Amino acid sequence: MANKIITNALKNGRTVLTEVESKQLVASAGIPVVETKLAKTKAEAIEISKSMGFPVVLKIVSPDIIHKSDIGGVKLNLTNATQVGKAYTEIMAAAKKANKKADIHGVSVQKMAKPGVEVIMGMSKDAQFGPVLMFGLGGVFVEVLKDVAFRIVPLTRRDASQMIREIKGYPILEGYRGQEPANVTALEDLLLKLSEFVDKTPQIKELDLNPIFAYKDRAVAVDARVILESQA
């Protein structure tokens, strides 16, 4: 599955995978992701939403539009077919306005995930050390606080454990002020799976799972972004 997704993208001259492709790719590594399906038409979006069950989230799917929410390409908490149809129309209009030449595949439809503690995991490549994994609090926290930890791939269980515990925001994962704690073992498992995956998939240049919702019993990636190495 992973090789097929990567090969198809590169064959089409793309190094940026869509959200749907990125999620399929990380899911193939055993990383839990929120079920996400591609809808190419409004009717398809409504049909998929009904089969998944409301509420759902719609997002623009285009390799040319990376910051989806900035251009109005994301609609949250849609609770019925009418709202989904309206959201589809608005997302398409916003995408075309933002980039007239964008290659638009459609919209992604996913179940609205139950809120959890938001964390981020990512990978970038260092010229000297190769793939490096990153862990921190997710969502806006990572941009504002820049409270993250790094380790060189491949990771050991001890590395994963230390990464999680050395961020300043670790008390939030423990259940700060009565909040539900996150399952730290599940997060360690995710980091180890991610490390193994990027170690054996050198075609990946960058990878972001943000946010991952961490719950008391599990963790699941809600969004994924993958950029491949250029073949030039």
HEC sequence for the chain: CHHHHHHHHHHCCCCECCHHHHHHHHHCCCCCECCEEEECCHHHHHHHHHHHCCCEEEEEECCCCCCCHHHCCEEEEECCHHHHHHHHHHHHHHHHHHCCCCCCCEEEEEECCCCCEEEEEEEEEECCCEEEEEEEECCHHHHHHCCEEEEECCCCHHHHHHHHHHCCCHHHHCCHHHCCCCCHHHHHHHHHHHHHHHHHCCCEEEEEEEEEEECCCCEEECCEEEEECCCC
Instruction: Tell me if 6 is assigned to some domain.
Output: no
pLDDT digits (tens, 9 = 90+) for 19-64: 999 999 999 999 999 999 999 999 999 999 999 999 999 999 998 8
Instruction: Tell me if 2 is assigned to some domain.
Output: no
Please check whether residues 171 and 105 belong to one and the same domain.
no
Instruction: Tell me if 12 is assigned to some domain.
Output: no
The predicted pLDDT at position 1 comes to: 81
pLDDT digits (tens, 9 = 90+) for 121-171: 999 999 999 999 999 998 666 777 788 999 999 999 999 999 999 999 999
- What's the pTM? 0.90
The predicted pLDDT at position 69 comes to: 85
Instruction: Tell me if 55 is assigned to some domain.
Output: yes
Instruction: Tell me if 88 is assigned to some domain.
Output: yes
Instruction: Tell me if 199 is assigned to some domain.
Output: yes
The predicted pLDDT at position 61 comes to: 94
Q: Which domain holds residue 96?
A: 35-111
Please check whether residues 53 and 152 belong to one and the same domain.
no
- Count up the domains in the chain and report the number: 2
pLDDT exceeds cutoff 90 at 189: yes
The predicted pLDDT at position 232 comes to: 63
Instruction: Tell me if 130 is assigned to some domain.
Output: yes
The predicted pLDDT at position 128 comes to: 94
Instruction: Tell me if 3 is assigned to some domain.
Output: no
Please check whether residues 165 and 195 belong to one and the same domain.
yes
